[in-house]
């Protein structure tokens, strides 16, 4: 095996493999390093993909139940956890296997193991089948990702789950405490509630999904309140102890502990910047452990770039992939910068919440004058045929230029619908562009067009004349 490479990419998640593939397509000689047998990273092995497979099962359970409203009755679901797990693992296997094939087709050298930088142009790869090897490189892209934050004082116990172990669905706990009302807590809490657990979500802040506009969160919060045993805001865990066949949890301010079968901790993720040899280089990290990079994703060490969760928020796969491709273009000497106008975010609960660009809350905190046009799904024919009138589509607009600055959607399929919003923001589209674009009827996509019509006071299905 050659011990020199033009570009080494460390970490084969959606950031790393997108970078490696793009570099190979551009004619670079590439080595991709990761401990797993195939590329995929957290997203494919322990994140986005397995959680979405489980959320799909949860959605089918809910829809089967809701069908009784229109006269189609199914019995109670009989859940075979082993089969569900095998199906989910099968999806992961297919996708990661496919990435392995794409790696070989592109002639990217894939080395299994953990890489550690020895200096600005050499790294050691440990733990692979070939023992330790050294690799010299012209360029490196670090894409080691992030890991769940653990809370101090929680016992080491199979009953204490994190985002990774919860995806294994070893069993369906009777009573499950979810600590953290963010993306992971709500997505995986929803899965377990659908499978039959009594779920209690505790969030330390005054609302679920901090940072998301409240009107988008409301329909989800209402549904979760019905599906969960309780949602407790401004609540923190004081102590957790193993007690018999459960965990005794005492909340701040409560005299007596409550007993749970399992506790899922989902209080955020932190960058994996430790143990990769950064101290042997000039690469700098900030106080939260994020690697500092410029708009070309270059670190303070000219031969080393970094992308994805490792370099900062939002910790989203699609942001990492885009950064990966930008980093490669910069290494190839092209004039590029990572400066998106909109990075979409999607919470894959039911309903889904999706947003991009400027949010209403951000506009408020920046003191920026915006106009918000809302189209409630109760006025959408398609939403009603789905039995889902609780959705909302909103546009955050510049009142002067009428430009679309941000889009927010809550409702089933919001994650798919938001793509139009991202394009609108990126292209500098105006409300008129959206209103004059013919959208197919009857679809939920019409709510984007109608929200733009609301801005002008002439939405067909909502009588809301403009006052000015
Ligand atoms: P998060 O930041 O989304 O949510 C963590 C929540 O825990 C916050 O609401 C926070 O206020 C709360 N919290 C923190 N400490 C707490 C405590 N001691 N007690 C109670 N609540 C506490 O983090 P996450 O859900 O762990 O997800 C991590 C990241 O992974 C996300 O920010 C996101 O970038 C990514 N992710 C994305 C998706 C998606 O795109 N659909 C899904 C899962 C994860």
Residue appearing with tokens 């002639």: 107
Q: Flag whether 468 is in a domain.
A: no
pLDDT beyond 70 at 300: yes
Distances (CA, A) of 318 to 219, 308, 345: 26, 9, 9
Close Cβ partners of 245 (under 8 Å, ≥ 6 residues apart): 261
Q: Flag whether 252 is in a domain.
A: yes
10 Å Cβ neighbour count for 266?
24
Region 65-89 average pLDDT: 96
Atom of ligand 1 nearest to the CA of 348: 41
3-state DSSP assignment of residue 408: strand
CA of 388 to the centre of ligand 1 (A): 27
Q: Are residues 23 and 133 in the same domain?
A: yes
Q: Indicate which residue's Cα is closest to atom 26 of ligand 1.
A: 268
Which residues have any ligand 1 atom within 6 Å of their CB? 151, 179-185, 187, 202-205, 210, 236-237, 266-269, 314-316, 346-348
Q: Write a three-state SS string for 350-365.
A: CCEEEEEECCHHHHHH
Residue at which a domain ends, from 246, 267, 288:
267
DSSP annotation of 29: -
- Give the pLDDT confidence of 356-405 residue by residue, as tens digits: 999 999 999 999 999 999 999 999 999 999 999 999 999 999 999 999 99
Q: Are residues 309 and 352 in the same domain?
A: no
Maximum Cα interatomic distance, the chain, rounded to a whole number of Å: 73
What local confidence, expressed as pLDDT, does residue 129 receive?
Answer: 76
pLDDT beyond 50 at 21: yes
What local confidence, expressed as pLDDT, does residue 243 receive?
Answer: 92
Q: Indicate which residue's Cα is closest to atom 38 of ligand 1.
A: 183
Q: Are residues 84 and 191 in the same domain?
A: no
Atom of ligand 1 nearest to the CA of 345: 40
For 414, phi then psi, to 5°, come to -55, -35
Q: Flag whether 428 is in a domain.
A: yes
Where does the pLDDT of residue 468 fall: very low under 50, low under 70, confident under 90, or very high at 90 and above? low
Q: Are residues 213 and 262 in the same domain?
A: yes
Sign of the CA dihedral 57, 58, 63, 64? positive
CA of 162 to the centre of ligand 1 (A): 11
Q: Of 6, 7, 10, 4, which is closest to residue 307 (Cα–Cα)?
A: 10
Q: Are residues 261 and 283 in the same domain?
A: no
Close Cβ partners of 98 (under 8 Å, ≥ 6 residues apart): none
3-state DSSP assignment of residue 396: strand
What local confidence, expressed as pLDDT, does residue 466 receive?
Answer: 80
What local confidence, expressed as pLDDT, does residue 127 receive?
Answer: 87
Mean pLDDT, the chain, rounded, equals 97
Q: Of 46, 182, 319, 320, which is best to mutate to test ligand 1, by the most ligand atoms within 8 angstroms of its C-beta?
A: 182
- Give the pLDDT confidence of 393-432 residue by residue, as tens digits: 999 999 999 999 999 999 999 999 999 999 999 999 999 9
Where does the pLDDT of residue 467 fall: very low under 50, low under 70, confident under 90, or very high at 90 and above? low
Q: Are residues 116 and 260 in the same domain?
A: no
Q: Are residues 33 and 115 in the same domain?
A: yes
What's 428's domain CATH number?
3.30.390.30
Atom of ligand 1 nearest to the CA of 185: 25
Q: Are residues 201 and 305 in the same domain?
A: no
Q: Of 68, 123, 25, which is closest to residue 324 (Cα–Cα)?
A: 25
What's 191's domain CATH number?
3.50.50.60
For residue 410, the enclosing domain spans: 345-456
Residue appearing with tokens 């309903």: 351
Give the β-pairing of 262-265 and 175-179.
parallel
Distance CA 21, CA 13 (A): 12
Q: Indicate which residue's Cα is closest to atom 34 of ligand 1.
A: 315
Q: Indicate which residue's Cα is closest to atom 3 of ligand 1.
A: 182
Q: Calculate the CA 19 to chain-centre distance.
A: 19
Q: Of 161, 180, 231, which is best to mutate to test ligand 1, by the most ligand atoms within 8 angstroms of its C-beta?
A: 180
Q: Flag whether 375 is in a domain.
A: yes
Q: Flag whether 36 is in a domain.
A: yes
| Cβ proximity of 424 and 404 under 8 Å | yes
HSE of 246, CA atoms in CB hemisphere, 13 A = 13
pLDDT beyond 60 at 1: no
Q: 372 pairs with which residues across the strands?
A: 396
Q: Are residues 259 and 287 in the same domain?
A: no
Q: How many domains does the chain have?
A: 3
Global model pTM greater than 0.75: yes
Which residue numbers are catalytic? 441
What local confidence, expressed as pLDDT, does residue 128 receive?
Answer: 79
Q: Indicate which residue's Cα is closest to atom 33 of ligand 1.
A: 315
Q: Are residues 257 and 285 in the same domain?
A: no
Terminal CA-CA length for the chain = 72
Q: Are residues 373 and 296 in the same domain?
A: no
Q: What percent of the chain has pLDDT over 70?
A: 99
Q: Flag whether 299 is in a domain.
A: yes
Atom of ligand 1 nearest to the CA of 202: 20
Q: Flag whether 155 is in a domain.
A: no
Where does the pLDDT of residue 2 fall: very low under 50, low under 70, confident under 90, or very high at 90 and above? very low
What local confidence, expressed as pLDDT, does residue 120 receive?
Answer: 98
For 8, phi then psi, to 5°, come to -110, 135
- Give the pLDDT confidence of 315-350 residue by residue, as tens digits: 999 999 999 999 999 999 999 999 999 999 999 999
Q: Are residues 131 and 166 in the same domain?
A: no
What local confidence, expressed as pLDDT, does residue 5 receive?
Answer: 98
Q: Indicate which residue's Cα is closest to atom 41 of ligand 1.
A: 347
| Cβ proximity of 162 and 265 under 8 Å | yes
pLDDT beyond 50 at 124: yes
Q: Flag whether 392 is in a domain.
A: yes
Distance CA 377, CA 416 (A): 16
CA of 371 to the centre of ligand 1 (A): 29
- Give the pLDDT confidence of 139-186 residue by residue, as tens digits: 999 999 999 999 999 999 999 999 999 999 999 999 999 999 999 999
Residue at which a domain ends, from 222, 246, 267:
267
| Cβ proximity of 419 and 344 under 8 Å | yes
CA of 9 to the centre of ligand 1 (A): 27
What local confidence, expressed as pLDDT, does residue 465 receive?
Answer: 86
Distance CA 161, CA 262 (A): 7
Q: Would you report the helix, strand and coil content of the chain in percent, each value rounded to 5?
A: 35, 25, 40
């Amino acid at each position: 095996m050659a011990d020199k490479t033009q570009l080494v990419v460390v970490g084969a998640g959606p950031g790393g493999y997108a970078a490696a593939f793009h570099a190979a397509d551009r004619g670079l000689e590439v080595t991709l390093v990761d401990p797993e047998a195939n590329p995929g990273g957290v997203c494919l092995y322990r994140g986005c993909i397995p959680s979405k497979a489980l959320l799909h099962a949860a959605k089918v359970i809910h829809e089967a139940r809701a069908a009784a409203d229109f006269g189609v009755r199914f019995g109670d679901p009989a859940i075979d956890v082993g089969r569900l797990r095998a199906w989910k693992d099968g999806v992961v296997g297919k996708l990661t296997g496919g990435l392995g094939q794409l790696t070989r087709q592109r002639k990217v050298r894939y080395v299994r193991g953990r890489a550690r930088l020895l200096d600005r142009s050499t790294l050691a790869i440990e733990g692979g089948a070939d023992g330790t090897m050294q690799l010299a490189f012209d360029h490196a892209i670090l894409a080691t990702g992030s890991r769940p934050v653990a809370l101090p004082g929680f016992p080491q116990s199979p009953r204490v789950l994190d985002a990774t172990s919860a995806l294994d669905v070893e069993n369906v706990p009777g009573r499950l405490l979810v600590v953290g009302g963010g993306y992971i807590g709500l997505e995986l809490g929803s899965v377990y509630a659908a499978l039959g657990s009594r779920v209690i979500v505790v969030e330390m802040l005054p609302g679920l999904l901090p940072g998301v506009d409240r009107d988008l969160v409301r329909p989800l919060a209402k549904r979760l309140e019905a599906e969960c045993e309780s949602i407790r805001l401004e609540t923190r865990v004081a102590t957790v102890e193993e007690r018999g066949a459960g965990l005794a949890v005492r909340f701040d301010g409560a005299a007596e502990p409550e007993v749970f079968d399992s506790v899922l901790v989902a209080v955020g993720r932190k960058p994996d910047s430790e143990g990769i040899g950064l101290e042997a280089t000039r690469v700098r990290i900030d106080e939260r452990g994020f690697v500092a990079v410029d708009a070309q994703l270059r670190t303070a060490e000219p031969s080393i770039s970094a992308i994805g969760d490792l370099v900062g928020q939002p910790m989203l796969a699609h942001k990492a992939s885009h950064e990966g491709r930008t980093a490669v273009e910069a290494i190839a000497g092209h004039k590029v910068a990572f400066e998106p106008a909109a990075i979409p975010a999607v919470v894959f609960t039911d309903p889904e919440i999706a947003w991009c660009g400027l949010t209403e809350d951000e506009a408020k905190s920046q003191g920026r004058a915006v106009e918000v046009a809302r189209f409630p799904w109760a006025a959408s024919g398609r939403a009603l045929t789905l039995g889902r009138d609780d959705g909302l589509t909103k546009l955050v607009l510049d009142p002067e230029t009428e430009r679309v600055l941000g889009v927010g959607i809550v409702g089933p399929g919001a994650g798919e619908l938001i793509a139009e919003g991202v394009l609108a923001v990126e292209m500098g589209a105006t409300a008129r562009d959206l209103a004059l674009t013919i959208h197919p009827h009857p679809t939920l996509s019409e709510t984007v067009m109608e929200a733009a019509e609301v801005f002008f006071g002439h939405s067909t299905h909502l009588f809301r004349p403009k006052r000015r």
